[in-house]
């Protein structure tokens, strides 16, 4: 976590010059040491530099034998920056004062005479705690979004911030929304967030995966059917549209809806009423439509596979989710969040990622996007034996990738080219290792089968 370049600041407050010198000498290599001989000087430096850690001698002038000035400083500093870790240095009969200081919010205490090595350990623990707390605050900040604003969608990159803005803008209205993005980018999450932030939140959110249901059944799944409308229709069954009355209907993989049904869907969107299969009655339904697609709808329209009029009905607002690989810091942010989640779930003490693992996470192309990251981290938390997750815990090194050597990568040109090459290599080796079984290969790569097929097509495999 140490940055190496900028040293963390520590403020040493002591009225005895020798002690100040000794500590400066002992700590100067690791930290940027600030020195103060009395309370006034200490507070001035404290306000200006905001050190993360302070060692504070309680016996400060004007009354070196008393503790008033020391306690005054302690109180003032914690008032200014409550997260500061203050180590109180106490004199001979220091115990009572030490306890009082800790009760007031001091991080720890240390009795004089100072043993540099011991004090160093306390200080380094204090800094370490500072780092952890800072990281927690950062996560908390995003986790607030989890339950509040963004309903569990994590993202700090500009593109995701833009997505959040759009969600907030459209949630309260009834306009239809089309969410597009590669597999695993969080389309369903976005749809649910919109619903949860809408006035319909107490009514049902009904999802139907148009790509997963055979064409013959899809119509009845959507609109329901009357008893006896076809062989096997023994009872009247309501469709998803009716179930979503007053709520939100999520049409997943809308690009997969066959042509004939596209017409029926369009009619429903225009009239806001349906007829069950085999029925005559018009039943009016009040639903808000959110649709998702991971195919390029404009291309599907050009090729005549998707009706333009339907697209314009549904895609009043378009939300495009960026692929994970283009979300910058979000990759590590999400990786850390999932790490925390799964180490909690599995009750494992994992501290974080090794620098190499972080590099892999940032450089990998994530064809399965957030879902793939989530799966890989879950696996890693299960597999890891030490405190740090290494690349092979994430399944990176264990795949027999012919990692191109650096000169080869340089030859490839752009970062994107290098990523593509790596992606292709990984796919090939996964297929090879799984003996040509695509489903299994998709599994090891953490992507869905359709995604793998798409990727194979993209790479001409
Ligand atoms: N920004 C995010 N923050 C936190 N979790 C996320 C985020 N995006 C996606 N996820 C998680 O990743 C997984 C996949 O998300 P989701 O199912 O919404 O993706 P999708 O785009 O609908 O995928 P598919 O196209 O495969 O259906 C879920 O477990 C979801 O909770
Ligand atoms: Mg989905």
Which of ligand 1's atoms lies nearest the C-alpha of 179?
Answer: 21
- Whether 73 and 132 map to the same domain: the answer is yes
pLDDT above 90 (res 426): no
Q: What is the mean pLDDT of residues 255-273?
A: 92
pLDDT at 147 over 50: no
Interval between CA 176 and ligand 2 midpoint (Å)? 17
Ligand nearest to the CA of 450: 1
Of 217, 226, 349, the residue nearest 276 (C-alpha): 226
Q: Which ligand sits nearest to residue 294's alpha carbon? A: 1
* 28 and 115 assigned to the same domain: yes
Among 111, 140, 169, residue at a domain's last position: 140
pLDDT score of 149 more than 70: no
Same domain, 299 and 173: yes
Task: Tell me the whole-structure pTM to 2 decimals.
Answer: 0.61
What is the pLDDT at residue 240? 93
Q: How high is the pLDDT of residue 131? A: 82
Rg (the chain; Cα; Å)? 30
pLDDT tens digits along 360-415 = 999 899 999 999 999 999 999 998 998 899 999 998 864 434 444 444 445 556 77
Centre of ligand 1 from the C-alpha of residue 19, in Å: 56
Q: Which residues line ligand 1 (CB under 6 A)?
A: 152-155, 181, 183-189, 294, 334, 370-371, 374, 448
Q: What is the pLDDT of residues 209-221, one digit of tens each?
A: 998 888 888 999 9
**pLDDT of 447 over the 60 cut:** yes
Q: Is residue 209 part of a domain?
A: yes
> How many angstroms separate the alpha carbon of residue 9 from the centre of ligand 1?
40
pLDDT one-digit tens code per residue, 53-110: 999 998 888 888 888 899 999 999 998 888 899 999 987 667 888 888 988 999 988 9
pLDDT at position 207 is 95
Number of structural domains in the chain: 3
3-state secondary structure of 452: helix
Peptide bond into 113 cis (omega under 30): yes
Minimum-distance ligand 1 atom for the alpha carbon of 160: 1
| 246/214: higher pLDDT | 246
- Cα distance between residue 38 and residue 61, in whole Å: 6
Distance 274 CA to ligand 1 centre (A): 31
Does residue 25 have a pLDDT over 90? yes
Q: Which residue has the higher pLDDT, 5 or 80?
A: 80
Instruction: Looking at the structure, tell me whether residues 384 and 249 fall in a common domain.
Output: no
Q: Could you tell me which residue, 438 or 143, shows the higher pLDDT? A: 438
Residue 288 domain-assigned? yes
Task: Check whether 251 has a pLDDT greater than 60.
Answer: yes
Residues 300, 168 share a domain? yes
Please report whether residue 150 resides in a domain.
no
Strand ranges in 331-411 using DSSP code E only, listed in sequence order: 352-353, 388-389
In a domain, 415, yes or no: yes
Q: Which of 322, 342, 366 is the last residue of a domain?
A: 322
172 and 122 part of one domain: no
pLDDT in tens, 341-375: 899 888 888 989 999 999 899 989 999 999 999 99
Centre of ligand 1 to C-alpha 319, Å, is 14
Mean pLDDT in the chain? 87
Q: What is the domain-level CATH number for residue 77?
A: 3.40.50.2300
Beta bridge partners of 207: 250
> Contacts from 398-403 at CB under 8 Å and sequence distance 24+?
399/426, 399/429, 399/430, 399/433, 399/444, 400/429, 400/432, 400/433, 401/425, 401/426, 401/429, 402/429
Mean per-residue pLDDT, 168-193: 94
Q: Which of 140, 166, 190 is where one domain is finished?
A: 140
Atom 13, ligand 1: which residue's CA is nearest? 371
DSSP letter (8 states) at residue 11 = E
pLDDT at 145 over 80: no
The CA 335 to ligand 1 mean position distance, Å, reads 13
pLDDT at 401: 42
Is 40 domain-assigned?
yes
Q: Which residue, among 23, 269, 337, 294, has the nearest Cα to 181 in the 3D structure?
A: 294
Pair (308, 169) in one structural domain: yes
Higher pLDDT, 207 or 138: 207
Beta bridge partner(s), residue 32: 9
Residues 116 and 129 in one domain: yes
The residue whose CB lies within 8 Å of the most ligand 1 atoms, and thus the one to mutate among 144, 157, 184, 453, is 184
Parent domain of 434: 325-458
pLDDT at 63: 82
Ligand 1 mutation target, pool 156, 178, 189, most atoms within 8 A of CB: 189
Q: How confident is the model at residue 335 (pLDDT cuts 50, 70, 90)?
A: very high
Ligand 1 atom with the shortest distance to the CA of 292: 22
Ligand 1 probe mutation, 194, 205, 371, most atoms within 8 A of CB: 371
Element (H, E) at 289: strand 288-293
Confidence at residue 413, expressed as pLDDT on a 0 to 100 scale = 64
Q: What is the 3-state secondary structure (H, E, C) of the chain?
A: CCCCCCCEEEEEECCCHHHHHHHHHHHCCCEEEEEECCHHHHHHHHHHHCCCEEEEECCCCCCCCCCHHHHHHHHHHHHHCCCCEEEEEECCCCHHHHHHHHHHCCCEEEECCCCHHHHHHHHHHHHHHHHHHHHHHHHHHHHHHHHCCCCCCCCCCHHHHHHHHHHHHHHCCCCCEEEECCCCCCHHHHHHHHHHCCCCCCCCEEEEECCCCCHHHHHHHHHEECCCCCCCCCCCEECHHHHCCCCEEEEECHHHCCHHHHHHHHHHHHHCEECCECCCCCEECCCEEEEEECCCHHHHHHCCCCCHHHHHHHCCEEEECCCHHHCCCHHHHHHHHHHHHHHHHCCCCCCEECHHHHHHHHHCCCCCHHHHHHHHHHHHHHHCCCCEECHHHHCCCCCCCCCCCHHHHHHHCCHHHHHHHHHHHHHHHHHHHCCCCHHHHHHHHCCCHHHHHHHHHHCCC
The pLDDT assigned to 4 comes to: 41
* Same-domain pairing of 301 and 426: no
Q: Which of 183, 188, 324, 333 to mutate to test the pocket of ligand 1 (most atoms within 8 A of CB)?
A: 188
Of 342, 346, 339, residue with least CA distance to 389: 339
Q: Which atom of ligand 1 is nearest to the CA of 448?
A: 26
Same-domain check for residues 310 and 431: no
Q: Domain holding 189: CATH number?
A: 3.40.50.300
Q: Residues 6 or more apart from 217 whose CB is under 8 A from it?
A: none
Statement to judge: residues 307 and 166 lie in one domain: yes
pLDDT at 411: 55
Task: Verify that 317 and 343 share a domain, yes or no.
Answer: no
**CA–centroid distance, residue 87 to ligand 1 (Å):** 45
> How far does residue 187's CA lie from ligand 2's centre (Å)?
6
């Amino acid at each position: 976590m140490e940055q190496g370049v900028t040293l963390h600041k520590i403020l040493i407050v002591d009225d005895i010059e020798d002690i100040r010198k000794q500590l400066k000498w002992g700590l100067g290599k690791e930290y940027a040491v600030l020195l103060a001989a009395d309370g006034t000087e200490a507070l001035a430096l404290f306000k200006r530099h905001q050190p993360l850690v302070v060692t504070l001698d309680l016996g400060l002038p004007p009354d070196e034998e008393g503790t008033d000035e020391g306690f005054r400083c302690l109180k003032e500093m914690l008032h200014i920056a409550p997260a500061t870790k203050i180590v109180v240095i106490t004199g001979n009969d220091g115990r009572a004062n030490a306890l009082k200081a800790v009760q007031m919010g001091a991080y720890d205490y240390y009795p004089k005479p100072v043993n540099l090595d011991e004090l160093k350990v306390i200080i380094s623990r204090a800094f370490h705690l500072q780092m952890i707390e800072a990281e927690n605050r950062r996560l908390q900040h995003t986790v607030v979004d989890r339950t509040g604003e963004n309903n569990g969608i994590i993202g700090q990159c500009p593109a995701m911030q833009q997505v959040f803005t759009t969600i907030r803008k459209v949630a309260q209205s009834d306009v239809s929304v089309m969410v597009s993005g590669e597999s695993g980018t969080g389309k369903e999450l976005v749809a649910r967030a919109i619903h949860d932030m809408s006035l319909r939140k107490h009514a049902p959110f009904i999802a139907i995966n148009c790509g997963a249901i055979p064409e013959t059944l899809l119509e009845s799944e959507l609109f329901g059917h009357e008893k006896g409308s076809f062989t096997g229709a023994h009872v009247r069954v309501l469709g998803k549209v009716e179930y979503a009355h007053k709520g939100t209907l999520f049409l997943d993989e809308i690009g997969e809806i066959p042509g004939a049904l596209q017409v029926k869907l369009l009619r429903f969107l225009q009239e806001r009423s349906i007829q069950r299969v085999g029925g005559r009655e018009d039943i009016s339904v009040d639903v808000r439509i959110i649709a998702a697609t991971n195919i390029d709808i404009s291309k599907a329209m050009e090729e005549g596979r998707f009706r333009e009029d339907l697209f314009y009905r549904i895609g009043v607002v378009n939300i495009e989710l960026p692929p994970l690989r283009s979300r910058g810091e979000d990759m590590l942010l999400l990786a850390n969040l999932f790490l925390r989640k799964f180490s909690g779930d599995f009750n494992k003490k994992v501290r974080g990622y090794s620098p190499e693992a972080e590099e892999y996470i940032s450089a990998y192309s994530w064809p399965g996007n957030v879902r793939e990251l989530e799966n890989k981290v879950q696996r890693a938390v299960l597999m890891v034996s030490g405190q740090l997750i290494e690349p092979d815990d994430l399944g990176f090194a264990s795949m027999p990738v012919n990692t191109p050597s650096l000169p080869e990568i340089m030859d490839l040109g752009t970062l994107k080219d290098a990523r593509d090459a790596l992606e292709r290599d990984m796919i090939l080796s996964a297929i090879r290792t799984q003996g040509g079984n695509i489903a299994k290969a998709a599994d090891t790569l953490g992507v869905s089968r359709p995604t793998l097929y798409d990727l194979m097509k993209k790479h001409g495999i």
